[in-house]
């Protein structure tokens, strides 16, 4: 399985990630995607993209941040893989890269929230050693 993982920096690379993001975040639209990513970059947001045979197959949007509760962590905002590429280990490879980055950056951990019904994703997280240790509550307007 030959692939490359890289940080999507250019407008072109970020735009090429859109179809993978759209799988996880169906409300996104292409016209606003790049400007949204650029705004989030001011809050340390970055995208790791996994490319195989010239196509982005999986993405991870993340940020380095600090909390009173956890100290410095790497927080994963988004982790998504194209449906045709699922089950091939791509998300696991991205998680491995994120763990390595978090350790290199002196983080005390890696955190993420996951939708309640995303059972396949939960299996992966548990296999990678993540623990279920909180409930996430939200109030939407």
Is 139 within the bounds of a domain?
no
Cβ proximity of 76 and 69 under 8 Å: no
Q: Counting beta carbons within 10 angstroms of the beta carbon of residue 107, is it exposed (0 to 12), middle (13 to 18) or buried (19 or more)?
A: buried
Is 140 within the bounds of a domain?
no
SS3 content of the chain, % helix, strand, coil (to 5): 40, 30, 35
Query: Whole-model pTM above 0.75?
Result: yes
Least Cα distance to 120 among 76, 86, 96 occurs for 86
pLDDT at 132: 74
pLDDT at 116: 63
pLDDT at 123: 73
Is 141 within the bounds of a domain?
no
pLDDT at 117: 66
Is 57 within the bounds of a domain?
yes
For 100-117, give the DSSP string.
Answer: HHHHHTT-SEEEE---TT
Q: Counting beta carbons within 10 angstroms of the beta carbon of residue 13, is it exposed (0 to 12), middle (13 to 18) or buried (19 or more)?
A: middle
List the pLDDT tens digit at each of the 141 positions of the chain: 799 999 999 999 999 999 999 999 999 999 999 999 999 999 999 999 999 999 999 999 999 999 999 999 999 999 999 999 999 999 999 999 999 999 999 999 999 877 666 666 777 677 877 787 776 677 578
pLDDT at 119: 61
Is 132 within the bounds of a domain?
no
CATH number at residue 35: 3.40.630.30
Count of the separate structural domains present in the chain: 1
What residues make up the domain containing 16?
A: 4-127
């Amino acid at each position: 399985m030959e692939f490359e993982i890289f940080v999507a920096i250019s407008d072109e690379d970020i735009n090429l990630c859109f179809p993978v993001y759209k799988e996880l975040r169906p409300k996104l639209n292409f016209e606003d995607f790049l400007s949204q990513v650029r705004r989030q970059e001011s809050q340390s947001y970055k995208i790791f993209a996994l490319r195989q045979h010239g196509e982005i197959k999986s993405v991870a949007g993340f940020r380095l941040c600090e909390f009173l509760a956890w100290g410095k962590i790497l927080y994963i905002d988004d982790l998504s893989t194209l449906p045709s590429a699922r089950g091939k280990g791509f998300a696991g490879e991205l998680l491995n890269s994120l763990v390595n980055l978090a350790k290199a950056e002196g983080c005390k951990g890696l955190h993420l929230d996951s939708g309640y019904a995303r059972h396949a994703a939960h299996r992966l997280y548990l296999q990678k050693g993540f623990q279920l240790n909180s409930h996430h509550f939200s109030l939407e307007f």
